[in-house]
Amino acid sequence: MRTLTKMALSAAVLALAGPALADTADRRIALSNNYAGNSWRQAMLQSWETVTGQAVADGVVAEAPAFTTAENQATEQAAQIQNIILEGYDAIVLNAASPTALNGAVKEACDAGIVVVSFDGIVTEPCAYRIAVDFREMGRKQVEYLSGRLPEGGNLLEIRGLAGVFVDDEISAGIHAGVEQFPQFSIVGSVHGDWAQDVAQRAVAGVLPSLPDDIVGVVTQGGDGYGAAQAFAAAGREMPIIVMGNRQDELLWWKEQRDANGYETMSVSIAPGVSTLAFWVAQQVLDGQTVPQDLIVPFLEIQQDGLDAALETTPEGGVANEEYTLDDAKAVIAAAAN
């Protein structure tokens, strides 16, 4: 799949989005979120609140609350979706616990005339809309980066996300595809960090004693780089090249290491503000616009020369982010239609 920069999206032809065909001022859009236990999800929810709060104040929609399940369980989220259906919302923006286990609830929503837009953790039910980055490419790109830094290859540790979630499976598949493309690398260990620094630190600390001494790189999914670095440091191991995931603590640690000893890496993740793009896509569907079922947005990548600028704009404890406007949504829609 083709990855576009936001600049390219902004320059896309917007004519396909067209003028407004309906008034959405009385429409209600709900966010169904399966998990909030890390900084990315917290930033995602904050972006949603910021952008939808303004949209409600401006009279674009009547209401846009966020609902998050207590546990990352598809059965609990399915029940949540059914409650949203019963409460009569016009659209559901969905970050799903499973790509398939929620399909029944999603189909029930569609059959009730409710627009469903899934993002990040997308669903496969054909009636839903899907917004995602090319997560496989995000994984593969990490190994490609390491091949440029370490042409002779070596042993890699893989840190995965939440087990059973679409995003985790896709990024991991991309990492393994990258190793096939660059066979000088071998994955010698794999742990689940749940996209959280504390979980990643414990998981890496637990597996390090069983791994070879010469780990040259750590491939990640976001929310785990700083935890991995702490585990390597505590074990007295040589610090490998750890691919970061745009979290502020990761970027700060990277800067400190760069300033102290020239440490170099890269960072990549999906912007938490993708929730706001999903909101605007749902609004456009409710507005009567023709929207492709599948939309691709760029991942947010930080290279060595962009570290300082990224850190300056990332709040303490937060994530490098980008929030989307209605015009951004129209550009993404137009690009997909073309």
pLDDT the model gives residue 20: 41
Range with lowest mean pLDDT among 3-7, 97-101, 122-126, 165-169: 3-7
pLDDT at 37: 85
Please report, for residues 121, 236, 278, the alpha-carbon distance to residue 233 in angstroms, rounded to integers and kept in the order given: 33, 5, 39
**Spans of all domains in the chain:** 6-133+270-303+315-337, 135-269
**Which of 260, 261, 223 lies closest to 244 in space, CA to CA?**
223
The pLDDT assigned to 17 comes to 39
pTM (2 d.p.): 0.82
Instruction: Give residue 133's pLDDT.
Output: 85
Q: What is the pLDDT of residues 15-51, one digit of tens each?
A: 343 444 458 999 999 999 998 988 899 999 999 999 9
pLDDT of residue 7: 41
Note the CATH architecture for domain 6-133+270-303+315-337: 3-Layer(aba) Sandwich (3.40)
Residue type present at position 60: V
pLDDT of 5 over the 80 cut: no
CA angle at 60 for the pair 54 and 64, rounded to the nearest 5°: 65
Distance CA 273, CA 135 (A): 16
Neighbours of 246 (CB within 10 A): 28
Q: Residue 277 and residue 147: Cα distance in Å, rounded? A: 33
Going by the DSSP 8-state scheme, the letter that residue 208 receives in this structure is G
CA–CA dist 285, 241 (Å, integer): 43
Asked if 91 contacts 117 with a C-beta cutoff of 8 angstroms, the reply is yes
Mean pLDDT of the chain: 92
Percentage, residues of the chain above pLDDT 70: 93
Q: How far is CA 50 from CA 34, 35, 99, 139, in A?
A: 20, 19, 27, 30
* CB-based contact 191:204 (threshold 8 Å): yes
Report yes or no: 129 and 93 within 8 Å, Cβ to Cβ.
Answer: no
Instruction: List, for residues 84-138, the tens digit of each pLDDT value.
Output: 999 999 999 999 999 999 999 999 999 999 999 999 999 999 999 999 889 999 9
- Per-residue pLDDT at 22: 55
Rounded distance between C-alpha atoms, residue 302 and residue 325, angstroms: 22
pLDDT (average), residues 298-302: 92
Residue 16: per-residue pLDDT: 41
Residues 271 and 245 sit within 8 Å (Cβ to Cβ): no
- CA–CA separation, 184 and 179 (whole Å): 8
Q: Say whether pLDDT at 11 is over 80.
A: no
**Rounded mean pLDDT, 274-281:** 98
Alpha helices for the chain (secondary structure H): 6-10, 39-57, 74-86, 103-111, 135-149, 166-181, 197-207, 225-234, 248-261, 274-286, 307-312, 326-337
- pLDDT score at 330: 96
Judge whether residue 13 has pLDDT over 90.
no
Q: Report whether pLDDT(247) > 80.
A: yes
Do 135-269 and 6-133+270-303+315-337 have the same topology in CATH? yes
Query: Nearest to residue 313, comparing CAs of 251, 239, 260, 254?
Result: 251
What's the rounded mean pLDDT across residues 59-65?
98
Of 109-118, 184-193, 297-306, which range is least confident?
297-306
The structural architecture, per CATH, of the domain 135-269 is 3-Layer(aba) Sandwich (3.40)
Residue 2 has pLDDT above 80, yes or no: no
